[in-house]
């Protein structure tokens, strides 16, 4: 009996250890590719104990693997190091080096990055794809941005609507930011940071040709800050020619992105529309019995719950024109075509998606029917 108990305990221990290191999770993020590009899942704004975060860099790598991310960046504050008495680290590259070592045996790309931390109007800005964080630590903000440009970094403005810097919660494009844009030192802007979507930031992105970004800006655990609250982390989908750091960098500079947080998707029409087009797959379309009611089975192939409103010329039978398709689920729509068609245009407005402030895209699927 003792031997049996020992074997059972040993098996439980082996299973538990295996689970700890499996890097698998039910919260895995999934999005389809779009024509001509791969959809690369990125989070380019995170912190660890090497600035004001609460975890070691290897935890950020393990969380990213659990979330099925492709690319991450640990963007430690250059100027703000509250744990320095316990973790003295004059080398501002140390967090990146630890993450790189942790990720070396996994299919996860690590981008070298840092956060330039200043009060308004300069604000907080992430410089990613840098070569060396140490020279970017400068007394004057202008010099920090100039050094980031010298290293060919991609720089984006963090949480511009943050009420701690802008009490009204509205981003203000100061002369400082205008000058950085003009000098080619500021290339993107967060429209989603943590749980906040700022449509004013989206307006600034569109007006100033800035790349649209979404990030978790996580300081604690992803589980605590997002998963246990029923949320996914915010991410930026980058539409790159391939999964490689040079290709992701090229796509960021080109502005090929969509910011995603749960059921919210924000991006330029030329990228959000094909993403939505690929996110729903028509499984079949057949008429019910001898009726003129067309049953269309539609699958959501993403990890986001999606909400739509019928904009087709045909109305729905026995259901609301506003509906949800859960992540990974299939829903059957009943379209009253009045007469049998060989094909129909299914037009749906994506209610949780924005191509401009308060502008929701309408996507069309040409659906052949089976008589």
- Segment 188-201, tens digit of pLDDT: 999 999 999 999 99
Q: What pLDDT is recorded for position 25?
A: 55
Identify the CA nearest to 185 among candidates 210, 163, 219, 216. Answer: 210
Output the average pLDDT for the chain: 93
Q: What pLDDT is recorded for position 223?
A: 96
Number of H helices, E strands in the chain: 9, 19
Q: What pLDDT is recorded for position 2?
A: 45
Cα–Cα distances (Å) from 88 to 93, 114, 200, 236, in that order, read: 13, 17, 39, 32
DSSP 38: E
Q: What pLDDT is recorded for position 166?
A: 81
**Mean of pLDDT values over 160-172:** 87
Shared domain check, 284 and 311: yes
Contact indicator for 229, 218 with CB cutoff of 8 Å: no
**Mean of pLDDT values over 342-361:** 97
Shared domain check, 318 and 248: no
Shared domain check, 214 and 105: yes
Q: Domain for residue 87, yes or no? A: yes
Rounded Cα gap, residues 124 and 150, in angstroms: 19
**Global pTM?**
0.92
| CA 260 and chain centroid, separation | 4
Name the one residue in this structure whose structure tokens are 């499984």: 283
Q: Domain for residue 92, yes or no? A: yes
Cβ atoms within 10 Å, residue 241: 14
3-class DSSP state of 359: strand
Contact indicator for 209, 255 with CB cutoff of 8 Å: yes
Rounded Cα gap, residues 341 and 370, in angstroms: 9
Q: What pLDDT is recorded for position 89?
A: 85
Q: Domain for residue 273, yes or no? A: no
Residue 94's CATH number: 3.20.20.140
Rounded Cα gap, residues 256 and 236, in angstroms: 10
- Has residue 9 got a pLDDT over 70? no
* % of residues, the chain, pLDDT over 90: 87
The pLDDT tens digits of the residues spanning 248-269 come to: 999 999 999 999 999 999 999 9
**Mean of pLDDT values over 307-326:** 96
- Has residue 26 got a pLDDT over 80? no
Q: What pLDDT is recorded for position 100?
A: 97
- 87 vs 41: which has the higher pLDDT: 41
CA atoms within 13 A on the CB side of 24: 5
Q: What pLDDT is recorded for position 371?
A: 67
Contact indicator for 256, 38 with CB cutoff of 8 Å: no
The torsion angles phi and psi of 263, rounded to 5 degrees, stand at -95, 5
Q: Domain for residue 271, yes or no? A: no
Query: Which residue segment(s) compose the domain that 50 sits in?
Result: 22-262
**Mean of pLDDT values over 228-243:** 97
The domain boundary residue, chosen from 262, 292, 309: 262
């Amino acid at each position: 009996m003792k031997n049996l108990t020992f074997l059972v305990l040993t098996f439980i221990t082996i299973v538990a250890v295996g689970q700890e290191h499996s890097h698998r999770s039910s919260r895995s993020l999934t999005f389809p590719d779009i024509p001509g590009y791969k959809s690369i899942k990125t989070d380019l704004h995170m912190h660890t104990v090497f600035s004001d975060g609460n975890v070691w860099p290897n935890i950020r790598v393990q969380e990213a693997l659990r979330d099925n991310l492709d690319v991450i960046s640990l963007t430690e504050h250059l100027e703000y190091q509250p744990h320095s008495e316990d973790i003295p680290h004059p080398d501002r590259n140390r967090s990146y080096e630890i993450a790189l070592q942790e990720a070396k045996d996994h299919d996860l790309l690590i981008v070298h990055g840092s956060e330039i931390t200043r009060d308004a109007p300069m604000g907080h800005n992430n410089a990613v794809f840098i070569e060396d964080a140490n020279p970017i630590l400068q007394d004057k903000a202008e010099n920090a941005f100039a050094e980031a440009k010298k290293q060919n970094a991609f720089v984006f403005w963090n949480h511009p609507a943050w009420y701690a810097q802008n009490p009204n919660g509205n981003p203000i494009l100061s002369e400082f930011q205008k000058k950085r844009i003009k000098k080619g030192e500021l290339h993107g802007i967060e429209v989603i940071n943590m749980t906040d979507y700022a449509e004013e930031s989206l307006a600034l992105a569109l007006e100033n040709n800035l790349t649209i970004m979404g990030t978790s800006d996580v300081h604690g655990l992803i589980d605590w800050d997002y998963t246990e609250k029923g949320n996914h982390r915010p991410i930026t989908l980058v539409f790159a020619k391939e999964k490689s750091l040079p290709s992701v960098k090229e796509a960021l500079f080109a502005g090929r992105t969509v910011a995603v947080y749960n059921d919210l998707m924000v991006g330029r029409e030329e990228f959000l529309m094909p993403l939505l087009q690929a996110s729903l797959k028509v499984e079949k379309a057949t008429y019910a019995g001898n009726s003129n009611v067309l049953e269309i089975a539609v699958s959501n192939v993403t990890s986001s719950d999606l909400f739509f409103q019928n904009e087709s010329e045909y109305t729905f039978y026995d259901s609301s024109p506003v509906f949800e398709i859960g992540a990974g689920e299939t829903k059957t729509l009943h379209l009253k075509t009045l007469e049998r068609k060989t094909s129909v245009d299914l037009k749906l407005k994506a209610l949780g998606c924005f191509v401009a402030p308060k502008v929701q895209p309408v996507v069309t699927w040409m659906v052949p029917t089976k008589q």
